[in-house]
């Protein structure tokens, strides 16, 4: 049985969360990590996500953005606004623009180090690998078992 802290991609949320199985230190180690939990070049695993990101990148992009808004994906549809925008921009090879913006938003939300210039280079040169990394990262950091932890500096006082 896999633990909530295992870095194994789950395409869809499943089962009720098991909060008692992990410590808050383990949870913070994942949710408040200032680096990406997955390497940019760890994009071939799992194969299904890699294939979808290479052949139909708009679907992966749309799913990641939907997961960032609702981690349970309860109202998710592959035909969503983010997927449509990505597809429209892809026809004129400008999808990297929206991907750069959303990658930066994801970094800010999760407190991941990086820069706009780095996001732009990654989205422009390694778009498919970036999509896989972003989807896996969003899935891991929004797991119900881990509980979303605000990064330091985002606390309300």
The token duo for 60 is: 């992966």
The dihedral built from the CA positions of residue 53, 54, 55 and 56, taken in this order, carries a sign that is positive
pLDDT band at 9 (very low <50, low <70, confident <90, very high): confident
The arithmetic mean of pLDDT across residues 15-31, rounded, is 64
Share of the chain above pLDDT 70, in %: 80
pLDDT band at 22 (very low <50, low <70, confident <90, very high): low
Give CA–CA dist 116/80, Å, rounded: 25
The arithmetic mean of pLDDT across residues 116-134, rounded, is 96
Secondary structure element (H or E) that encloses residue 124, with its range: helix 116-125
Residue 125 has what pLDDT? Answer: 95
Residue 15 has what pLDDT? Answer: 60
Share of the chain above pLDDT 90, in %: 57
In tens, the pLDDT along 95-113 reads 999 999 999 999 999 999 9
**3-state SS, one letter per residue, for 43-85:** CCCCHHHHHHHHHCHHHHHHHHHHHHHCCCCCCCCCCCHHHHH
pLDDT band at 150 (very low <50, low <70, confident <90, very high): very low
Domain boundaries, the chain: 45-150
Model pTM above 0.95:
no
- Nearest Cα neighbor of 67 from 82, 52, 50 is 82
Residue 149 has what pLDDT? Answer: 45
Task: Look at residue 1 and tell me whether its pLDDT is greater than 60.
Answer: no
On whether the CB atoms of residues 58 and 86 are closer than 8 A, the answer is yes
In tens, the pLDDT along 64-79 reads 999 998 888 888 898 8
């Amino acid at each position: 049985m896999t633990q909530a802290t295992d870095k194994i991609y789950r395409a869809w949320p499943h089962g009720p969360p098991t909060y008692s199985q992990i410590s808050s230190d383990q949870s913070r180690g994942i949710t408040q990590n200032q680096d990406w939990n997955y390497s940019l070049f760890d994009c071939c695993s799992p194969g299904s996500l890699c294939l979808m990101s290479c052949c139909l990148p708009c679907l992966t992009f749309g799913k990641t953005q939907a997961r960032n808004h609702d981690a349970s994906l309860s109202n998710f549809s592959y035909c969503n606004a983010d997927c449509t925008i990505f597809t429209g921009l892809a026809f004129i090879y400008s999808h990297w623009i929206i991907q750069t913006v959303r990658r930066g938003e994801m970094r800010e939300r999760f407190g991941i180090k990086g820069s706009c210039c780095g996001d732009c280079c990654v989205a422009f040169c390694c778009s498919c690998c970036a999509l896989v990394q972003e989807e896996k990262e969003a899935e891991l950091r929004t797991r119900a078992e881990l509980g979303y932890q605000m990064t330091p500096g985002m606390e309300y006082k």
